[in-house]
Amino acid sequence: MFIQSIIGDVLFNLIIDRILGHGPGGGEGNLAAHSGGSCQASISFDNGETWKVLHSFQGGCPRDVQLGSNMAGKNQTFLFQIPEQTRAGNALFSWSWVAVTGNRNEYFQNCASVRIDGPGASTLDDFPDMFVGDMSLTGHIGPGECRSTAGFSLEYPNSGRALTVTAVGRISFKKPTNGKCFAKASIESSTPVVPLSTSTTADNNNSVVQTETINSASTTAFIELSSTTLILPDSVPPQCISYTTITDKTRHVSHPHYIWCDNAVFKSEPMWVRFSGAAGTRLTSGPMEPFHCGTQGTGWYKGTYPTSIGGTASGTVCYSWPRNSCQWSNKISITNCNGYYVFALPAPPACFLRYCTV
């Protein structure tokens, strides 16, 4: 499924299809990116009266946008799943966006009419409601309610069952102000949830709305902002879909030392992350000198990377110190996601230690 849509000033190319790569590329999606932001993929079975969240992308949407920049990077694919139990028949799909910078009285959303084929019968009533804010709705959202904060990526108050968090340098996360931050006809979720042939018409905003067919059984959906990434959805484990992206250039081995410590980023329980952009794509391998990549004790990977798609390997990260290339260490896991790797990383054993990348 291919939807070309102008939301605000940004051109989004959206692809929802079981077959990755179906549908055209192109459409840079890189003008007026407003320092990035947060996005949600949602669905409605009552003609837009209520919306249920399928996946939240918190931060880095669109990707590779720095604070104060209106230019987004290329090769941006956002992946989410249509639950197998989703009711067959007609529905509305929504892609909504809350930007980091710009007018705080603007909430960006566009929709597509879709038809879902499959055995499911659920309207996903137990899923959380889509975030609605940065606007006033008479009798529902008052002045100052449900407002994001300029300069921050929106932290969704109820992100849903599937959440991808992307950390971007100099852009922190912040929850909206209080209020009934959901569609007016919705009943607020009582329990937070943790985490083909085409007929085309144009609306008054020069957006394109398309009617498509989606097979809900084991369906993975792809939202693409510029071009196609070759990933086979059925061949990779869940951590290849839901992970935190780190693009911080200061952890690259080429960066000089400082006193950053990854205890501020990671916890005792390992977190799945993907390194991208200026951060590089992998942990550096082999002993390296201390006092690099924005820290004092430089973390390097002592082990092998998995070669099979979907495979996971375990190894050791050593932290270099003068006269000892493995003064401290901890265990990690790495999964091959068919074109990139994700890493299960715990907090380092001391400060100032940091995972270093290439």
CB under 8 Å, gap of 24 or more: what pairs does 265-268 form?
Answer: 265/167, 265/347, 266/345, 266/346, 266/347, 266/348, 267/346, 267/347, 268/346, 268/347
Query: Which is nearest to 96 in space by CA: 86, 85, 107?
Result: 107
Task: Report helix, strand or coil for 98.
Answer: strand
Element (H, E) at 271: strand 271-275
- Place 331 in a pLDDT band, splitting at 50, 70 and 90: very high
Provide the CATH number for the domain around residue 25. 2.70.50
**Of 231, 252, 273, at which residue does a domain stop?**
231
Give CA torsion, residues 180, 181, 185, 190, to 10 deg: -70
Same domain as 11, residue 142: yes
Same domain as 260, residue 225: no
Same domain as 303, residue 213: no
**Of 207, 231, 255, at which residue does a domain stop?**
231
- Per-residue pLDDT for 264 more than 80? yes
Same domain as 137, residue 15: yes
- Place 211 in a pLDDT band, splitting at 50, 70 and 90: very low
Mean pLDDT of 289-310: 94
Task: Give pLDDT, residue 223.
Answer: 43
Higher pLDDT, 9 or 90: 90
The model's pLDDT over 243-257, given as tens digits with 9 standing for 90+, comes to 888 988 999 999 998
Task: Give pLDDT, residue 31.
Answer: 56
Mean pLDDT of 216-226: 41
Task: Give pLDDT, residue 6.
Answer: 45
Same domain as 144, residue 109: yes
- Per-residue pLDDT for 206 more than 50? no
Higher pLDDT, 77 or 183: 183
Say how far apart CA 4 and CA 298 lie, in whole Å.
44
* pTM of the predicted model as reported, rounded to 2 decimal places: 0.55
Same domain as 22, residue 130: yes
- Per-residue pLDDT for 315 more than 70? yes
- The residue length of the chain stands at 358
Domain containing 172 equals 2-231
User: What is the domain count for the chain?
Assistant: 2
Q: What percent of the chain has pLDDT over 70?
A: 77
Task: Give pLDDT, residue 110.
Answer: 82
Mean pLDDT of 321-330: 96
